[in-house]
Structures are given as C-alpha cells and as structure tokens.
Amino acid sequence: MACHPGRSHGYRVRYCGRLPRSFGMADLEVTERIRVGKVSFINTLPIFHPLESGAVQHDFDIIDGTPAVLNALLASDQLDLGVVSSIEYARHFDKYLLLPDLSISCKNEVCSVLLLSRVPLQKLEAQEILLTPKSHTSIALLKLLFARRFTVTPRYRVTDYHACGSRWPAGAQEDLAIGDDALQLRQNPEVAMALELGAAWHEWTGHPFVFAVWALRRETLAQRDGLVHQAHATLLAAKEYGLGHLEEIAAAVDQCSWFSRQECVQYLQTIEYDLDADKQKGLRLFFDMLYEMGELSQRVPLNFLETGGQK
C-alpha cells in the first residue's frame, strides 16, 4: 500500500487489493483529518475529481479501494466516512449514519453493473454465475432478482478474478461485473445477454436503485462534529462542481483507451448522485425485500446525519 503526500489539500492513500489478514489500525495512521473512502471507479469522479484537482478545496485523507475494501475499512474504524455498498449500511446501521443528498444511483441503464452471459437469460437454470468480490450490493440485488422476479435458479460462485480489458474471464459462462470491469467486458463479442441490474430493478419496482451510499461512523460524529459537517458541505460542493464539469472530468480519464471522452460523459450522465425521496423509497424497499428473504436479520431504518436542512 502506498501512502504519499498530496497537494496542500490533503493526503491520499491507495488500496485496491484484498485486505490482508494482518491489516490493522497501524496500517492507516489516525490523523485530525477526516478519512474519506473513495471507490476507485470512474463513476465516483464527479465528486472526487474536483477534490483531487484542487477545484474544491478540502482537508481530507482520501483512501482508494473497491467497494468491498472500503466496506471493511469503515467497519474497522480505518475510515471516518465514505462511499460504501448500500447493503453495508444495512448490515451495520447501528454504527453508521447516512450523509444526506449523496449516493450512487440509477433509474435506467447505467452500463456498469451487468450480468453478462454467453447464453440467454432463460437458459441460466442451474448454470454457474461468477460473482465479483468487489461489490456486495450488486450480488444481493442479483440474487434478489433471480429469487423474486425471474423464474430461473442459477448457482453462484464468488471468484477473485480480475478482468483484463474486454477479455472474458477464463472458464466463465456467466459473469457479474461492476464498475470499470463491466464497462470493458460489455464490449466483448461473446456476450449474448447483458442484464443491467439497475434497469431491471427500476422496471420491476418503479423506483431508482441505490448501489452505494455515503456512510459516516457515529463515533466520528461524536468526536468531531464540526469537521463532519464541514466535510459534508465540502462533498456537496464537489458534487455540484463535478456535475457541472463532466467534460472536464471526462478529459481527465486518460487511462481508458477503451472509453472515449464522449462515452465517458454519456456514462456519467446516467448516474444520479443525490438521495432524494424516491431513492429513499427504493432503498427501503430493497432492504425490506432482503429482510423477507432472510438476507438481513432485521428491518433497516434510514438514519441520517442531521444538518438542519432537508434530508
């Protein structure tokens, strides 16, 4: 794991692999700065690019990782707040608060949470689907869709493969891919069926789907109330700037030779970054369905950081 000084607006730590068994508090130094978790996918750039480019000033330690890694870091008090899988909040809602007006959500096709298959959906009965370990919410949504919406019962296996460009994972017939992996794999000519999970949810329920939320440790609020509210205001300012400068952000995505600037803008425009009343209804419905399936041990309330404004 590399930790190096950033610009005057804070420090940044990058950790994109699996957490080693010995990973503990000593690995990430606790500082007075708020430690903010950033999912290392293109879809978080409308908030993080303004922060990391200096367009919006901040005093955070920004820590990169996959959704699953950030889930673990927040749970183990190695982050103060950050982007985490929505189901991670559901599993630990007694420890977390939601940051108002922030999420990663969609109403229709978002192209980066996909079930990709070499065969049509109707032929997936008893077939093995490879599940990415990078996201917990996407796995829960996929299982929910097959259990409650589709009359198909596949088998599942979580596997720590890493997509390489648009090449199909070795030995896979069906594959759940998220984030940048999905954006590349969808171009594979072997794909016979691409099920966009967010669109499938919206078509089924009429509500947007909230893939990720911004969660805050309650302990952090108790210890650093002022810094927390300042951090929330900074994130909202970054979101406002980022959504108004998508062309600038797309131009900065220079590592993606497989993704043109225009495609990047169009992709980011399919994502919604607020957490309005309709998204909250969709999130509650998702949690309720998981509870009814036995995937959650109790019903989950949506508890927000109190800001004095509309939640």
Distance of CA 3 to the CA centre of its chain: 23
The tokens 């008090």 sit on which residue?
A: 77
Predicted TM-score (pTM) of this structure: 0.81
Residue 300: CB atoms within 10 A of its CB come to 22
Residues 200 and 217 occupy one common structural domain: no
Q: Is residue 311 part of a domain?
A: no
Q: Domain residues for 168?
A: 113-205
With contact defined as beta carbons under 8 Å apart, do 287 and 300 qualify?
A: yes
Residues 74 and 135 occupy one common structural domain: no
Q: Report the pLDDT value the prediction gives residue 135, as an integer from 0 to 100.
A: 73
User: Using CA atoms, how far apart are residues 57 and 51, in angstroms rounded to an integer?
Assistant: 6
Nearest to 232 by CA among 127, 311, 153, 175: 311
Q: Report the pLDDT value the prediction gives residue 29, as an integer from 0 to 100.
A: 46
Q: Is residue 302 part of a domain?
A: no
pLDDT along the chain (311 residues), means of 10: 33 40 43 88 93 95 92 96 96 98 85 67 77 81 90 79 50 51 57 76 94 96 95 98 96 71 88 97 98 96 84 44
Residues 23 and 139 occupy one common structural domain: no
We report the CATH number of the domain holding residue 278 as: 3.40.190.10
Q: Is residue 56 part of a domain?
A: yes
Residues 198 and 217 occupy one common structural domain: no
What phi, psi does 182 have (nearest 5°)? -65, -40
Q: Is residue 253 part of a domain?
A: yes
Q: Report the pLDDT value the prediction gives residue 10, as an integer from 0 to 100.
A: 42
Q: Report the pLDDT value the prediction gives residue 264, as an integer from 0 to 100.
A: 87
Residue 193: CB atoms within 10 A of its CB come to 16
Residues 130 and 100 occupy one common structural domain: no
The tokens 């949504």 sit on which residue?
A: 141
Q: Is residue 273 part of a domain?
A: yes
Q: Is residue 140 part of a domain?
A: yes
Residues 163 and 233 occupy one common structural domain: no
Question: What is the 8-class DSSP label of residue 148?
Answer: I
Residues 164 and 179 occupy one common structural domain: yes
Q: Which of 205, 239, 257 is the last residue of a domain?
A: 205
Q: What is the number of structural domains in the chain?
A: 2
Q: Report the pLDDT value the prediction gives residue 38, as an integer from 0 to 100.
A: 96
Q: Is residue 308 part of a domain?
A: no
Residues 16 and 94 occupy one common structural domain: yes
